[in-house]
Amino acid sequence: MTKKRPLLLLSNDDGINAKGIHELIRALRPVGDLIVVAPDGPRSGASGAITSASPIQYALLQQEAGLALYKCSGTPVDCVKLALHAIVPAVPDLVIGGINHGDNSSVNVHYSGTMGVVIEGCLKGIPSIGFSLCNHSADADFSATLPYVRRIVEETLAKGLPEGICLNVNFPDTSDLEGVLICRQTHGVWTNEFVKADHPRGGNYFWLTGEYKNLEPDAEDTDHWALAHNYVAITPTQIDVTAYAMVRELKTWNFDV
Amino acid sequence: MTKKRPLLLLSNDDGINAKGIHELIRALRPVGDLIVVAPDGPRSGASGAITSASPIQYALLQQEAGLALYKCSGTPVDCVKLALHAIVPAVPDLVIGGINHGDNSSVNVHYSGTMGVVIEGCLKGIPSIGFSLCNHSADADFSATLPYVRRIVEETLAKGLPEGICLNVNFPDTSDLEGVLICRQTHGVWTNEFVKADHPRGGNYFWLTGEYKNLEPDAEDTDHWALAHNYVAITPTQIDVTAYAMVRELKTWNFDV
């Protein structure tokens, strides 16, 4: 009796033509059947955005045994929603985002379209993992990450994840990985976020850029510390964002009108 | 000696022309000096999205004593970032999103551009509050919410919020509010999320829609329960999304390659 191959739904925010998602496909072809539904162009920084003011479409690009590739006109989250609604033949065993061209550790989790994919999978009750490499280049070298991507996916398939918890995996940009550390989200802040330029017809426009400041660079349990020391950072991430510690305090406040 | 008036930065995701933000302005004129930097059109469902592939702009629309209104070409989060970078004369005492036309309780927090505003304020270390009304209509009646909006803002100015914690406030669509309940995020899921239509030149397109299913309708400590029973739901929300309970478990997994 052969065991059924896992079904993996893949998406990203860099778009269907990005190197990172094709490297992800390459890493995971041996692990399961892959359905890839990714944006038809870059959607970096899309976070959990959804498209409601206009309709979206998808189209099959490539199909062979164990692999189907689709492009979708929507956001990363739209891709997951539409794939689950209209494309997959069964509920996937995993939803996987990435491999992102760029760091999604620390506060970047809030802006990340890759983690948008992952959080959406998690909201649908499916174990979900995001992979990101700390290199924004279009031709970044993902080769050192691939054995870890495969191992993390295999281990997650074997062990499962509790409902409401997904994984945010970040790789330092090195060929010399030290192994895996389980981390928490680093406390940090973006500063100097815009470059101002003059519009040729008057006025200014602003490019988003910025410098990330780690507010706890010595904390060895954080994802940024792991990355700075050449470790793969796995940060378990939850979709319940309630600040439970604040509930009791707020009950003492006066909200009478 | 007169006390300095608080400086409040307001934004939203329905855009500068939405009724909700003008109702918010009306509620808060007596409370402090207002700087409003809102998208130049609707950005509903923008979540924490940021614009990095193109530059953004802003323009002053209206200025009078205690109130300045700007439109911005970016996302809700862009509005907050650009306001803090280029517009405000000092760090605001509060960042406030809303009043949203539509429910941002439960899992909607992950898609909400209103909460994108609030989370961005919180990431910048500023106490931040999102207000939403469970009515999507452009001409929704916000009048019952306004005394609560003012009271919640005043109480938050007086008490402060711990770093990394913001407030997600949702109002039921009723003129007969029962008071405030402090809540946790309801466990729920969106189903049947698309309506399929035929394209006149062939193929299909899909409109995002859906039905929300509350997976714990009897849980009296949840935001959806509060809203269903005509209470104002205040859900304290945190920007650290680490699933701390999972860290120890993951350390027992095998990630050797």
pLDDT by position in tens, chain A (length 257): 566 899 999 999 999 999 999 999 999 999 999 999 999 999 999 999 999 999 999 999 999 999 999 999 999 999 999 999 999 999 999 999 999 999 999 999 999 999 999 999 999 999 999 999 999 999 999 999 999 999 999 999 999 999 999 999 999 999 999 999 999 999 999 998 999 999 888 889 999 999 999 999 999 999 999 999 999 999 999 999 999 999 999 999 999 99
The pLDDT score that the predictor gives to residue A2 is 60
Residue A211 lies in a domain: no
Asked if A40 and A71 count as a contact pair (C-beta separation under 8 A), the reply is yes
Q: State the DSSP H helix or E strand holding residue B147, giving kind and residue range, or none if neither.
A: helix B146-159
For residue B77, give both structure tokens. 């989060």
Q: State the DSSP H helix or E strand holding residue B117, giving kind and residue range, or none if neither.
A: helix B113-123
Alpha helix locations (H) across chain A?
A: 19-28, 76-82, 113-123, 146-159, 223-228, 244-250
CATH number of domain containing B67:
3.40.1210.10
For residue B242, which residues of chain A lie inside 8 Å, CB to CB?
A: 183-185, 235-238
CA distances (Å), origin B172, targets B145, B180, B226: 9, 11, 8
Cβ–Cβ gap A124/B241 under 8 Å: no
Best mutation site among A43, A110, A152, A252 for testing chain B: the one with the most B CBs within 10 Å? A110
The pLDDT score that the predictor gives to residue A202 is 85
Residue B1 has pLDDT above 70, yes or no: no
Query: Phi and psi at residue B240, in whole multiples of 5°?
Result: -85, 110
As a whole-number percent, the residues of chain B with pLDDT over 70 amount to 99
Residue B22 has pLDDT above 80, yes or no: yes
From B151, B156, B196, B149, select the one nearest B170 (Cα to Cα).
B149
Q: Cα dihedral sign for B113, B118, B121, B122?
A: negative
Residue B144 lies in a domain: yes
Cβ–Cβ gap A240/B187 under 8 Å: yes
The pLDDT score that the predictor gives to residue B202 is 85
Cα A40 to Cα A42: distance, rounded to the nearest angstrom: 7
Cα B139 to Cα B10: distance, rounded to the nearest angstrom: 20
Chain B contact for A232, CB < 8 A? yes
Domain span at residue A58?
A: 7-185+218-250
Q: Which amino acid belongs to residue A237? A: T
Residue B13 has pLDDT above 90, yes or no: yes
Residue B200 lies in a domain: no
Tell how far CA B251 is from the center of its chain. Answer: 35
Alpha helix locations (H) across A42-89?
A: 76-82
* Residue B54 to chain A, least CA–CA distance (Å): 7
Tell how far CA A49 is from the center of its chain. Answer: 13
Q: Is B117 left (phi over 0), alpha (psi -120 to 50) or beta?
A: alpha
Strands B128-133 and B165-171, bridge-based pairing: parallel
Cβ–Cβ gap A237/B243 under 8 Å: yes
Question: Is the bond leading into A16 cis (omega within 30 degrees of zero)?
Answer: no
Residue B204 lies in a domain: no
The pLDDT score that the predictor gives to residue A1 is 53
Best mutation site among B71, B240, B244 for testing chain A: the one with the most A CBs within 10 Å? B240
Facing residues of A39 across strands?
Answer: A72
For residue B254, which residues of chain A lie inside 8 Å, CB to CB?
A: 151, 155
Q: What is the C-alpha radius of gyration for chain B, rounded to an integer number of angstroms?
A: 19
Report pLDDT digits (tens) over B209-245: 999 999 999 999 999 999 999 999 999 999 999 999 9
The pLDDT score that the predictor gives to residue A206 is 96
Report pLDDT digits (tens) over B110-140: 999 999 999 999 999 999 999 999 999 999 9
For residue B57, which residues of chain A lie inside 8 Å, CB to CB?
A: 199, 203-206
How many structural domains does chain B have?
Answer: 1
For residue B247, give both structure tokens. 């860290």
Report pLDDT digits (tens) over B171-209: 999 999 999 999 999 999 999 899 999 988 888 999 999
Residue A144 lies in a domain: yes
* Residue A9 to chain B, least CA–CA distance (Å): 18
Cβ–Cβ gap A45/B56 under 8 Å: no
Residue A50 lies in a domain: yes
The pLDDT score that the predictor gives to residue A4 is 86
* Residue A2 to chain B, least CA–CA distance (Å): 24
From A85, A102, A84, A103, select the one nearest A94 (Cα to Cα).
A84
As a whole-number percent, the residues of chain B with pLDDT over 90 amount to 96
Residue A191 lies in a domain: no
The pLDDT score that the predictor gives to residue A203 is 86
Asked if A166 and A97 count as a contact pair (C-beta separation under 8 A), the reply is no
Residue B59 lies in a domain: yes
Asked if A255 and B148 count as a contact pair (C-beta separation under 8 A), the reply is yes
Q: What is the mean pLDDT of residues B54-60?
A: 96
The pLDDT score that the predictor gives to residue B79 is 98
Q: What is the mean pLDDT of residues B63-84?
A: 98
DSSP state letter for A87: I
CA distances (Å), origin A36, targets A60, A90, A95, A171, B23: 10, 14, 10, 22, 44
